[in-house]
Amino acid sequence: MAAVCAWNLWFLRATLVPVAYLDDASMHEQMVRAATTALRAGDLPLTRWFPYLSLGSPHFLHYQSGGATLAGLAGLVVGPDTAFRWSLYLLVALWPVAVYASARLWGFERWVACAAAVVSPFLASVPGIGYEQKAYLWIGYGLWAQLWASWALPFAWACTWRAFHDRRWTVPAVACITLTVALHFETGYLAFGAVPVLLFVAAGPLARRAGTAALVLGGGIATSAWVTVPVILQGRWAAVNETLAPTGLVRGYGARTDLGWLVTGRTFDNGRLPVVTLAVAAGIVASIIAWRRSRLGRAMVCLFTGSLLLSFGPTTWGPLADVVPGHQDLFFRRFVMGVHLTGIYLAGIGALWVWGGVRHVCVAALDRWRVGEGSPARALVVGGAAALLGLALLVPALVETGRYDSGNASAVAFQHADGSALASLDAIVARVEALPKGRVYAGAPGTWGDDMVVGSVPVYKYLEALDVDEVGYTLRTAALMTGPEEHFDEAEAGDYPLFGIRYLILPVGKSPPVPAQQVLTSGPFVLWQVPDVGYFSVVDIVGTLSTNRAGVGAASVALLRSGLFLEHADLAVAWGSPVSGQDVATAPPARSSGPPGIVRRESVDLADGRASAQVVLSRPAAVELAASFDPGWRATVDGRPAPTVMLAPAVVGVRAGRGAHTVTFTYGGYPWYPLLFALAGISFVALWLATRRRRPDVVPAPGDVAGQTSRTTA
C-alpha cells in the first residue's frame, strides 16, 4: 500500500503546477478563493454572493461547499490557490490510505484491507466520473467536491456498520454522514442510503437494529440540517439544468447500458484487461458462498447492488425515481461512486480468496513433493506464487494508469509553458479592471470561443481563473440566469444590457458582432467596449412572463429574440407558475415615448454583494440590476427600503417613481444558519448522552466486526 501511495505521489506531482483548469476544477478553485476572501473578512461563505458565473448566485448555499470552505481556511495560511492544488494532489495520491483505514474499521482483516487499498487507485470506467483518476485530474473532469467526499463516505459506512453492533459508534457515524453531505450532496445520498441496507444485514435483534437505524438517520438529518434545510427551502430559486435534464448525464444511462459496461469490464477496467473486474467478481462469488457466515461480505454485496440499481436512474425506473428526494437536481449516473467503493472492498475480498486457492494448490503440491514447512524452497514457491498473482492483478492497471498520468503531466506542462498568451490576456484583464465595471464576453462553448485559447484552455474558461465576472461559461452553477445565458445571442444588441456585458474579448481579425469601440490590442486578443452598457438599466414593465426553475431557460428564448430590450422594456415574472404560451407574444407593446430613464453613475462590487446607481426617470419604471434574482437581495430607493421584483428572464429589479433617485441593492444571504448550527450541536450532545454506555449492544461475531480472514470469506 505504501508503494502504491509513493507511486501516486510521484506520478501525480504535476497536479501541483499552477495552471488554469479545463473543467469543473476551475470553478472549485474559484470557490476556494471566494471562501478565503469571505473568511478573511469575518463572513460565513454560505451567506455570500458568488458573482462570477451566470450573473451570480448564492453558490455556497445551493452547491456542496464543505471542501471549498475547509480549503479556504487553509488558504488563510498558504493562499487559496496553493491550498486547492495541494488538497487535490494529496486527496488523490493518498486515497489508498482512506480505503485501508475504512476497511479495517469495517472489520476486514489486514490483508483484505491492504488488497483493497492497492486496487483503489486503478479504476477506470467509461463515464469516468466514479472513484478514478479521470474524475479529478487536469485532463479529466475536475470533480473536486466528490473527491473530498470520497474520503468521508467510506468512514460514514464503516461507522454506521459499527453503530449497529455498538451504539457508542452512533455519534461518529452521524458526524461522518454530516461531513459527507456537506462535502458532496450525491455522496450524501449514499451515506444515508446505507443505513436501511445495513439494518437488514447487521447482527442482533431486529428491534434493536431498527432503533439504531432511527438514531443514525434522525441524528444525521438533524446535524446536517444546516446544509439541507437552506437547500430545500431555497430550492425554488435554484435552476434545474434544462440542457442536461433529459440526457443520461442526469437521468442515468439505464440498466441495459450500465449492466453491459459491468459485465464487459468497462465499469472498472475500461480500455484494458479486466483484472479489477475479475477481482470484484471473485469477491462477489466468495461473499455469496460465505453468505451465512460473513455478514461483511453480505453487506458489500447488498450495498453494491443498491448503488447499481440507483445509478440506473429514471432511464430505467421512470416515475418511480420521483420518490428520491430532490430527484430533479440529481445526476443519477454519479451513483456509480457506490458501485466503485463497494467494488474496491469486494476486490480485496476476491484477491485474498483467489490467493487462498492458489496457496492451497501450492502447499498441496509441496506436501506431495515432501518439501518441509520451514524449508527455503517452500517459502520461495509460495512467495513466487504470491508475486505472480499480484503482478497479474496490477500490471495492466499500472501500465494504463501510468500512461494516463503521463498524458496528464504532458498536458499540464504544455499549459504552463504558454506564457506569452497569458501575458497578453493579463494585459487585457488589467485594462478591464481599470475601466468602468461591466461583464466580459469572450465566446461560449460550441462557438468561436473554443478556438481562442491560452495553451489548451479557452479564454472564457481562463477568465474564471482570474476571477473576472463573465458571461459565456455556461452550466456551472444553479443561478436562475444559467438557462437564459445559454440562449444569449451575441448578435442581438438588446441582450447586452440584460446580461450587463460591457466588454468583448475577441481574437485579432474578428469584428465585434454589435457596435463597439476598440480599446486595446494585446498579442492575439483585442478588447472592445460596448457603449452605454453597465450593470444597471432602466426599463418599462410591459407584461408578465410565467415560468419556473425548470423552464426559465426555454421561456427566455422568445423574450431574447423579441427586441423588447432594445425598446427599454421588460416583463415582470410570475415565478413558480406553469409556463404559459402567451408570454412575449401577447405582451403589450413597449411605449414609444423613448427610454423611461437613464443611469448616471454606478458603484458595483458584486463580490461584496453590493451595487448602487444614480438614475433619473422620466416616468415611473423599474431599475434593473444585471444579477440573478434571489430573495436575499434587498433594495432601497433614496435610502428607503423597497420591495424587489423579478424581471424577465430572472434578474432583480425595483420599481421607482419619476425623478432622480439613488437605488441600492445589497445581498443579505440566508439568515438562519446560527439556529441550524445550534440544532446540530444540541443533536450531537443528545446523541452522545443517549449512546455513551460503555458496553456494546451486540458482541461482534468473528468475521463480522472483530475481523475477517480469507478462510472465513471463502
> What are the helix (H) ranges across 224-294?
225-233, 248-251, 255-263, 275-289
Cross-strand pairs, 623 = 538, 654
> What are the helix (H) ranges across 612-713?
673-691, 710-713
- Distance, in Å, from the CA atom of 456 to the CA atom of 21, rounded to the nearest integer, reads 9
Query: Is the preceding peptide bond at 649 cis, omega within 30 degrees of 0?
Result: yes
Q: What is the mean pLDDT of each run of 10 residues along the chain (714 residues)?
A: 95 96 95 98 97 97 97 98 98 98 97 96 96 97 98 98 95 98 98 97 94 97 98 96 94 97 97 94 96 94 98 96 93 97 97 88 77 75 80 87 96 91 94 96 96 96 95 95 96 96 97 97 97 96 95 94 93 82 46 83 96 97 98 97 98 98 97 97 96 63 42 36
Model pLDDT for residues 355-401, shown as the tens digit of each residue: 888 887 887 877 777 677 777 877 787 788 888 888 887 888 999 99
Domain ranges of the chain: 2-378+691-697, 420-529, 536-657
Nearest to 27 by CA among 447, 470, 392: 470
Cross-strand pairs, 645 = 653
> What are the helix (H) ranges across 487-617?
495-499, 552-560
Give pLDDT, residue 297: 95
What number of other Cβ atoms are within 10 A of residue 302's Cβ?
A: 17
pTM, to two decimals: 0.94
- Distance, in Å, from the CA atom of 677 to the CA atom of 234, rounded to the nearest integer, reads 17
Dihedral angle sign, alpha carbons of residues 556, 441, 19, 39: negative
φ, ψ for residue 539, nearest 5 deg: -135, 150
By the 8 A CB rule, do 153 and 180 touch? yes
What number of other Cβ atoms are within 10 A of residue 104's Cβ?
A: 17
- Distance, in Å, from the CA atom of 543 to the CA atom of 583, rounded to the nearest integer, reads 8
By the 8 A CB rule, do 134 and 140 touch? yes
Model pLDDT for residues 203-239, shown as the tens digit of each residue: 999 999 999 999 999 999 999 999 999 999 999 999 9
Question: Can you read off the three cell numbers belonging to residue 129?
Answer: 466520473
- Distance, in Å, from the CA atom of 569 to the CA atom of 552, rounded to the nearest integer, reads 18
By the 8 A CB rule, do 276 and 347 touch? yes
> What are the helix (H) ranges across 446-512?
459-465, 482-486, 495-499
